[in-house]
Amino acid sequence: MNSSAVTAESDPAESALRAGLSWGVKGSFTRYVASMPDGRYGAGHGATETADGAFFFELDDASGYDPRAQEGLVKYRGDVRFKAHGGMLFVMIVDPWLEFHEDGVLLTVVDAERWPDRDHRITLATLRPDERGSRGLPPGWRCQEARLSAEGAAVFNDVYPVGEVLEPARYCTGVPTAAHDAESVTPPVAPGR
């Protein structure tokens, strides 16, 4: 799936001008669910579906993020659910957080196995900066390549192997970044237009 929710073509009002996380999770999974007669998916509680089939999770709290060190925690919020096979397939992607560590970035979500307890989280994906994908995004937006973690593989019934490439995660922390950040990207549309 070519999820490019933060480009001017798709929906600048929704994404380029608001801090958030734009992530299509796994496009082939969305298509698989959508292809079934009883397949349903939807977004709410801070998440919206974008025109190209990705999901936009609004920024919740970036106070735990240090833009200088590029480390810490950025919380996004939203609830995306997939359902099919008469309810046997039920996947929830709730409140994705990006955890920036010295040695990498993790995308965590609420552990659906413990729902409605939201305090337990699992690592769904490991991320790696995608410099090419970051080009052309609005100022302050970045792109990370996402790969399925071991805990994430279980979410998808172990159909995908650990390391499976997921949709790229595009995000804005809402925290003013270093000056070079703004210079390194070419906004596809003037902010505020």
Residues engaged in binding ligand HEM (CB under 6 A): 28-29, 32, 85, 88-89, 91, 156-157, 159-160
Specify the residue, 155 or 169, whose C-beta has the smaller distance to ligand HEM: 155
Specify the residue, 87 or 192, whose C-beta has the smaller distance to ligand HEM: 87
Closest approach of Cβ 122 to ligand HEM, in Å? 14
Sorted by sequence, the CB contacts under 8 Å of residue 77 that are 6+ apart come out as 45, 46, 47, 57, 58, 59, 60, 95
Specify the residue, 73 or 89, whose C-beta has the smaller distance to ligand HEM: 89
If one counts every other C-beta atom within 10 angstroms of the C-beta of residue 106, the result is 18
Residue whose Cβ sits closest to ligand HEM: 28
Closest approach of Cβ 107 to ligand HEM, in Å? 17
Closest approach of Cβ 33 to ligand HEM, in Å? 8
Sorted by sequence, the CB contacts under 8 Å of residue 145 that are 6+ apart come out as 127, 128, 129, 130, 133, 165, 168
Contact (Cβ atoms closer than 8 angstroms) between residue 83 and residue 39: yes
